[in-house]
C-alpha cells in the first residue's frame, strides 16, 4: 500500500482524472490533481510529489515539450499517460526524462502496478552507496558523481548506471537491463535502452564515456573498470 507516497495527477479529462485519483487513493496514496500544464507545474512547486502521472495532450501545452518541462521542474517519478504508443513517441518521451509510459485506456491493476514499480525503483536501498573508480552513486539521495562533478541524472539514467556499477566488468544484456528498468513491463522494446545509454554517456563525459560504458555488439553493455576507462574526464 502507498500510505506515504504523494502522487500528482495532471489530466484534463475530468472523468479519467477522477477515476485515476480514486484508484490510487484506494491503494493508500495521497493524491492531488490538476487539469492544465500551469496548474500542474504550480502543484509540483507547492506540494513536491513523489510521482507525477502526466497527460501528454494537455490543452495548454505542446506535447513534444511537456515532458521535458515537467522533468526540469521535478526529480519525482514521471509517468506519461498517452493514447499514442508508437516507438517514436516512446523514444521521444524517454529522451525527455519519462520513467515509464501508460497507454490509455488502462486498468486499475495496470495503473497501480506501474505507479508502485516506479516508486519502488526510485526509493529502493535508500542508504546504499556504490563506488567504482571515480564514480560514486548515492542511491538514497538519488544522485551520482564522477570525480567532483555531479552528473544530474534522471531516475532512469541513475538506475541504469547503478545496474552496471553493481556488476563492473560484466556484460549485462539488453533484456536484463530492460527488466531492471521496467519491471512492470518486461515486454518493453529493448532498443529503448540505447536511448538511455546514449544520454548517460553524454552526462558521464561525452566521448570518454564510450570507453567507460562499452557496447558488446549483439548482447548488451559493460561498465569497464580499467584505469584508462575510469580515469579523469
| Residue listed under C-alpha cell 531516475 | 155
Highest mean pLDDT: which range of 18-22, 80-84, 90-94, 161-165:
18-22
pLDDT band at 125 (very low <50, low <70, confident <90, very high): very low
- Alpha carbons 18 and 123: distance in angstroms, whole number: 27
C-alpha dist (Å) from residue 110 to 15, 97, 114, 176, 184:
18, 21, 6, 22, 8
CB neighbour list of residue 84: distance below 8 Å, 6 or more residues apart: 56, 103
pLDDT at position 191, please? 64
- The answer to whether the CB of 229 falls within 8 A of the CB of 211 is yes
Three-state secondary structure call for residue 209: helix
β-partners of residue 31 are 7
| Residue listed under C-alpha cell 486498468 | 107
- The answer to whether the CB of 29 falls within 8 A of the CB of 7 is yes
Over range 23-40, report the average pLDDT: 95
Query: Over the Cα atoms of the chain, what is R_g?
Result: 18
pLDDT at position 101, please? 87
> Of 156 and 162, which is predicted with more confidence?
162
- The answer to whether the CB of 11 falls within 8 A of the CB of 52 is no
Helix axes 192-205, 155-165, angle to 10 degrees: 80
Share of the chain above pLDDT 70, in %: 84
pLDDT at position 231, please? 43
**How many CB atoms within 10 Å of residue 87?**
10
pLDDT at position 155, please? 76
- Alpha carbons 225 and 82: distance in angstroms, whole number: 40
> Of 5 and 190, which is predicted with more confidence?
5
pLDDT band at 62 (very low <50, low <70, confident <90, very high): confident
- Alpha carbons 143 and 123: distance in angstroms, whole number: 12
Over range 57-61, report the average pLDDT: 87
Domain ranges of the chain: 6-123, 129-223
pLDDT at position 181, please? 72
pLDDT band at 228 (very low <50, low <70, confident <90, very high): very low
Burial class of residue 212 in the structure, from the number of CB atoms within 10 Å of its CB (0-12 exposed, 13-18 middle, 19+ buried):
buried
- The answer to whether the CB of 75 falls within 8 A of the CB of 155 is yes
Q: What are phi and psi of 227, to 5 degrees?
A: -60, -35
Highest mean pLDDT: which range of 28-32, 66-70, 116-120, 146-150:
28-32
129-223: CATH topology is Arc Repressor Mutant, subunit A (1.10.10)
CATH superfamily ID and name for 6-123: Response regulator (3.40.50.2300)
Amino acid at each position: 500500500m502507498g500510505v506515504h507516497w504523494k502522487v500528482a495527477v495532471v489530466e484534463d479529462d475530468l472523468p479519467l482524472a477522477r477515476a485515476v485519483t480514486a484508484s490510487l487513493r484506494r491503494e493508500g496514496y495521497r493524491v492531488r490533481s490538476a487539469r492544465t500544464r500551469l496548474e500542474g507545474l504550480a502543484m509540483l512547486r507547492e506540494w513536491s510529489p513523489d510521482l507525477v502521472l502526466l497527460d501528454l495532450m494537455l490543452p495548454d501545452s505542446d506535447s513534444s515539450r511537456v515532458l521535458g518541462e515537467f522533468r526540469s521542474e521535478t526529480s519525482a517519478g514521471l509517468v506519461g499517460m498517452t493514447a499514442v504508443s508508437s516507438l517514436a513517441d516512446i523514444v521521444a518521451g524517454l529522451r525527455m526524462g519519462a520513467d515509464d509510459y501508460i497507454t490509455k485506456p488502462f486498468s486499475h491493476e495496470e495503473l497501480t502496478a506501474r505507479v508502485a514499480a516506479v516508486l519502488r525503483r526510485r526509493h529502493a536501498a535508500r542508504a546504499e552507496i556504490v563506488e567504482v573508480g571515480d564514480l560514486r552513486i548515492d542511491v538514497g539521495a538519488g544522485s551520482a558523481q564522477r570525480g567532483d562533478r555531479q552528473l544530474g541524472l534522471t531516475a532512469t539514467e541513475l538506475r541504469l548506471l547503478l545496474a552496471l556499477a553493481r556488476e563492473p566488468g560484466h556484460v549485462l544484456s539488453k533484456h536484463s537491463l530492460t527488466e531492471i528498468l521496467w519491471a512492470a513491463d518486461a515486454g518493453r522494446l529493448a532498443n529503448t535502452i540505447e536511448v538511455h545509454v546514449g544520454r548517460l554517456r553524454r552526462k558521464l563525459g561525452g566521448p570518454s564515456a564510450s570507453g567507460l560504458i562499452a557496447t558488446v555488439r549483439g548482447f548488451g553493455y559493460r561498465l569497464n573498470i580499467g584505469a584508462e576507462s575510469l580515469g579523469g574526464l
